[in-house]
């Protein structure tokens, strides 16, 4: 019997079968979890429908996390299928393309800074707020971060500042949601993976090779590995873990190659 048997999860952020959200949904489904998926817009619906089929789900709902109205509609539609549920996965980030290439101070603009924070950090709080009335005791929320939250990584720019906000958000949400219903809130911080969000990034191939070479395991991570860790963190096996950021990065974050001796 899987370690998520009897649980229900809403997964936000599937765009294709390469998405980290898909690695998470698939791993959770393999552990016996019932899954509901959302898609951002009509362009992505077909691909998300296919993913839903694979994880045996018939709940596919449109959700644009930049709109409170869209978020609220998502949960009223979800209520037509489920009275209550256990897990929310947030695997969403966005910054305008112009913000992710060049000198941070030169390229960053006020409105695009706000947009990146709105979609990449606030939306996790917004989902929690809307989900809260339907969330079961001992439920779990999970988001996906990146090392750029704590290190200044070239070109990651405002996304790094937004991920720092997201990781602080995890701690404040954990503090707010733990006491009453025992809801846990965690993040996984994934190493670089070639997804749709990564495909637009200049020299991403070089970054992947550098990350593998600079890691303890000398390789990149997969969406399955991130998915398995996420499934664990959202399960009762992780009942003592909340407010944490867990690195799924082949050990890149702590590893130092040292000089050639
Ligand atoms: P992806 O393109 O597959 O997923 C990004 C998702 O964000 C898409 O499903 C997209 O529809 C969604 N999204 C963007 N704006 C939205 C909005 N307004 N409303 C609803 N959905 C919206 O790429 P991914 O790499 O799987 O990204 C998922 C998460 O993983 C992101 O938070 C990203 O920062 C994080 N992450 C990615 C990597 C990587 O190297 N790929 C590494 C660490 C963390
Ligand atoms: O979080 C991310 C990327 C998120 C992302 C990607 C895009 C591309 C398309 C957010 N917004 C957009 N906007 C677009 O228009 N990652 C962790 C992957 C990533 O992106 C980088 C990285 C890494 C790693 C950008 C620069 C440097 C490293």
Burial class from Cβ neighbours inside 10 Å (0-12, 13-18, 19+) for residue 38 reads buried
Do residues 92 and 24 lie in contact, with contact meaning Cβ atoms separated by under 8 Å? no
172 in catalytic set: no
Give yes or no for residue 39 having a pLDDT over 90: yes
Q: Atom of ligand 1 at shortest distance to CA of 63? A: 20
pLDDT in tens, 202-240: 999 999 999 999 999 999 999 999 999 999 999 999 999
The answer to whether the CB of 35 is under 6 A from ligand 1 is no
pTM more than 0.85: yes
The answer to whether the CB of 195 is under 6 A from ligand 1 is yes
Q: To the nearest whole percent, how much of the chain has pLDDT over 90?
A: 98
Catalytic residue, chosen from 156, 172, 210, 247, is 156
Instruction: Give residue ranges with CB within 6 A of ligand 2.
Output: 93-95, 97, 100, 146, 153, 155-156, 159, 192, 197-198, 200-201, 207
Distance CA 102, CA 164 (A): 20
Distance 77 CA to ligand 2 centre (A): 30
Ligand minimally distant from the alpha carbon of residue 152: 2
pLDDT in tens, 121-160: 999 999 999 999 999 999 999 999 999 999 999 999 999 9
210 in catalytic set: no
pLDDT in tens, 98-117: 999 999 999 999 999 999 99
Q: What is the mean pLDDT of residues 58-65?
A: 98
């Amino acid at each position: 019997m899987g370690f998520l048997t009897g649980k229900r999860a809403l997964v936000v952020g599937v765009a294709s079968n390469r998405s980290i959200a898909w690695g998470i949904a698939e791993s959770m489904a393999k552990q016996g979890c019932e899954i509901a998926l959302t898609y951002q817009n009509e362009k992505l619906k077909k691909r998300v429908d296919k993913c839903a089929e694979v994880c045996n789900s018939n709940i596919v709902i449109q959700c644009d996390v930049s709109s409170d109205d869209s978020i609220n509609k998502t949960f009223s539609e979800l209520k037509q299928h489920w009275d209550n549920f256990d897990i929310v996965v947030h695997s969403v980030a966005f910054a305008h393309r112009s913000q992710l290439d060049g000198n941070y101070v030169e390229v960053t603009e006020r409105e695009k800074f706000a947009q990146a924070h709105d979609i990449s950090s606030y939306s996790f709080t917004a989902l929690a707020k809307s989900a809260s009335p339907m969330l079961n005791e001992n439920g779990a929320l999970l988001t996906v971060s990146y090392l750029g939250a704590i290190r200044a990584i070239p070109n990651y720019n405002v996304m790094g500042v937004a991920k720092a906000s997201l990781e602080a958000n995890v701690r404040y949400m954990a503090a707010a949601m733990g006491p009453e219903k025992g809801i846990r809130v965690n993040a996984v911080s994934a190493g670089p993976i070639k997804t749709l969000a990564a495909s637009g990034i200049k020299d991403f191939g070089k970054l992947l090779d550098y990350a593998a070479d600079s890691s303890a395991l000398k390789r990149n991570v997969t969406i399955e590995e991130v998915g398995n860790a996420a499934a664990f963190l959202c399960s009762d096996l992780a009942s003592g873990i909340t407010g944490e950021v867990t690195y799924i990065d082949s050990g890149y974050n702590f590893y130092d190659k040292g000089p050639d001796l």
